[in-house]
C-alpha cells in the first residue's frame, strides 16, 4: 500500500466541519513513506522466534501513528482502525493485542536494533533537506522520565528519582530534532552511559553528512570527566553546568568584585564573571585533572525567597572549552533549558500496557 502524496508543497487544510484532528497524520505519514521507515524496521528489527516477530515494520508504524495521534497506551491504537485510515497512512494497521505481543517480544539487543533504524532515518531526512544549516551545530543532552503502570515491566517497575515508576531515557537534541535516544531503567543516574551515548551521537551526526563544528550543552547531571573526555576525543566544544562543592565555592568567592559584568536578566542585579577551575581533581588526581574555563552567573534572590544566612546571591557555574565573550557564552549556555520543551513535545511517547491487563 503506497500513499499517492509527495513531499512537494504538501499541506493539510481543515475546510470541513466534519473533519477530525487526526487527519493531520497525512503529513508525517507521507514523510515516513519517503524516508522508507517501514522498510527500515522490517530490515533491522529481527525478533528471532518471539511470538511478535512477524510484520515488524507494520506494527512499528502503527505504534508511531498512534503516538502522533495522542495515544498514551496500547489500547489507544485502536482508534486508527476507524474508517479508511489505512489509505491515509499508506500502511496496514494492527490491533492493540497484536501490538502488545510485539512490544513484549523485545529484549535488549532488539531495542538496540531500533537505534540502527533511527540512525539511517536521520541520514535520509538530512539528505532530503532537513539537515542543520550553518557552520556550528549545538547539541543539547538531557534525560526525561516516562511514567509506566504495572509491576511487570522490565526496567520500568522501579521508582525514578522523582518517585514515580517508569523509565529514565537519555536524549540528544539539536535544532528541535531528537538526534538520538537511549532507554534506561527508572533508577538510572542521569549521566549513566553518557560517554558511549555521546560517542554514538557524534558518529550519527557525521554519518548524516554534517561537516561543521559541534557544541555540546549539558546540565549538572552530566558533570563528569567521561562527558568531557567524550567531547575532547571528537573535537567537540562543550559547556557543562558544575555541581556546587566546597572547592568550587571557594573559587567563586575569590573572584574580585570588579570582574563581575552586569547582564540582561529578569532579576535586576544579575552578573557574570569568569575564572579558572580544575574539576574532577578528586576523581582523576591532581596530575591528570586539567584546569578549565569557569563562567559563573550570580543572581539576587527572587522576591519572597530566602537564601542562607549572610548570602546575598545564588551562583550558577559551568565549565567550558569554548572561546569567546563570557556574556554571550553564558547566555548561550542558559538557552540549554529549551531542550526540556523539545523533549516534552518530541520525546518518547508514554505507551502503556492495556488498562485491563495487570502487566
Whether the pLDDT of residue 17 is over 50: the answer is yes
pLDDT for 310 equals 63
Q: At what angle do helices 194-207 and 225-233 cross, to 10 degrees?
A: 20
Average pLDDT over all residues of the chain: 87
**Straight-line distance from the first to the last Cα atom of the chain, in angstroms, rounded to the nearest whole number:** 34
Cell of 95: 490491533
For residue 286, how many C-alpha atoms fall within 13 Å in the half-sphere facing its CB? 0
Whether the pLDDT of residue 358 is over 60: the answer is no
Whether the pLDDT of residue 270 is over 60: the answer is yes
pLDDT for 208 equals 95
Q: What is 28-90 written as a DSSP string?
A: HHHHHHHHTHHHHHHHH---TT-TT-TTHHHHHHHHHHHHHTT--BGGGGGGGGSTTHHHHHT
Residue 20 neighbours by CB under 8 Å, 6+ apart: none
For residue range 153-192, what is the model confidence (pLDDT) as tens digits?
777 778 888 788 888 899 999 998 999 999 888 888 889 9
pLDDT for 2 equals 52
Q: What is the mean pLDDT of residues 295-319?
A: 83
Q: What is the mean pLDDT of residues 316-339?
A: 94
pLDDT for 352 equals 43
156 contacts 148 by C-beta, under 8 angstroms? yes
pLDDT for 200 equals 96
For residue range 192-211, what is the model confidence (pLDDT) as tens digits?
999 999 999 999 999 999 99
Q: Give the max Cα distance, the chain.
A: 71
182 contacts 169 by C-beta, under 8 angstroms? yes
333 contacts 239 by C-beta, under 8 angstroms? yes
CA angle 10, 11, 15 (to 5 degrees): 145
Cell of 331: 547566555
Whether the pLDDT of residue 350 is over 60: the answer is no
For residue range 50-89, what is the model confidence (pLDDT) as tens digits?
999 999 999 999 999 999 888 888 999 998 988 778 888 8
Whether the pLDDT of residue 357 is over 60: the answer is no
Task: Say whether 215 sits in a helix, a strand or coil.
Answer: strand
Whether the pLDDT of residue 306 is over 80: the answer is no
The pTM score is 0.86
Dihedrals phi, psi of 67, to nearest 5 degrees: -65, -40
Q: What is the mean pLDDT of residues 252-281?
A: 94
Residue 230 neighbours by CB under 8 Å, 6+ apart: 194, 195, 198, 199, 202, 236
pLDDT for 307 equals 63
358: how many CB neighbours lie within 10 A of its CB? 9
221 contacts 143 by C-beta, under 8 angstroms? yes
Amino acid at each position: 500500500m503506497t500513499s499517492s502524496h509527495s513531499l512537494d508543497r504538501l499541506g493539510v487544510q481543515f475546510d470541513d466541519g466534519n473533519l477530525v484532528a487526526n487527519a493531520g497524520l497525512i503529513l508525517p505519514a507521507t514523510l515516513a513513506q519517503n524516508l522508507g521507515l517501514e522498510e527500515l524496521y522490517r530490515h533491522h528489527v529481527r525478533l528471532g522466534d518471539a511470538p511478535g516477530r512477524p510484520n515488524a515494520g507494520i506494527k512499528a508504524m502503527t505504534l508511531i501513528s498512534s503516538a502522533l495521534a495522542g495515544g498514551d497506551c496500547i489500547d489507544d491504537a485502536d482508534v486508527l482502525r476507524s474508517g479508511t485510515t489505512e489509505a491515509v497512512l499508506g500502511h496496514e494497521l494492527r490491533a492493540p493485542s497484536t501490538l502488545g505481543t510485539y512490544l513484549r517480544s523485545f529484549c535488549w539487543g532488539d531495542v538496540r536494533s531500533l537505534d540502527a533504524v533511527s540512525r539511517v532515518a536521520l541520514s535520509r531526512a538530512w539528505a532530503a533537506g532537513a539537515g542543520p544549516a550553518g557552520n556550528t551545530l549545538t547539541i543539547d543532552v538531557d534525560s526525561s522520565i516516562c511514567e509506566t503502570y504495572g509491576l511487570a515491566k522490565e526496567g520500568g517497575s522501579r521508582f525514578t528519582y522523582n518517585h514515580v515508576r517508569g523509565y529514565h531515557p537519555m536524549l540528544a537534541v539539536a535544532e528541535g530534532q531528537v538526534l538520538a535516544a537511549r532507554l534506561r531503567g527508572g533508577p538510572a543516574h542521569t549521566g549513566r552511559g553518557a560517554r558511549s551515548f555521546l560517542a554514538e551521537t557524534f558518529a550519527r551526526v557525521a554519518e548524516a553528512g554534517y561537516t561543521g563544528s559541534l557544541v555540546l550543552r549539558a546540565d549538572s547531571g552530566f558533570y563528569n570527566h567521561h562527558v568531557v573526555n567524550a567531547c575532547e576525543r571528537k573535537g567537540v566544544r562543550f559547556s557543562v553546568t558544575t555541581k556546587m562543592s566546597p572547592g568550587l565555592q571557594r573559587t567563586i568567592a575569590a573572584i574580585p568584585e570588579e570582574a563581575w559584568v552586569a547582564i540582561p536578566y529578569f532579576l535586576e542585579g544579575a552578573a557574570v564573571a569568569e575564572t579558572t577551575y580544575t574539576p574532577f581533581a578528586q576523581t582523576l588526581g591532581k596530575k591528570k585533572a586539567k584546569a578549565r574555563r569557569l563562567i559563573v552567573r550570580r543572581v539576587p534572590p527572587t522576591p519572597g525567597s530566602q537564601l542562607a544566612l549572610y548570602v546575598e546571591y545564588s551562583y550558577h557555574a559551568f565549565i567550558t572549552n569554548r572561546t569567546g565573550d563570557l556574556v554571550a557564552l553564558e547566555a548561550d549556555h542558559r538557552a540549554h533549558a529549551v531542550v526540556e520543551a523539545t523533549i516534552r513535545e518530541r520525546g518518547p511517547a508514554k505507551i502503556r500496557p492495556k488498562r485491563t491487563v495487570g502487566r
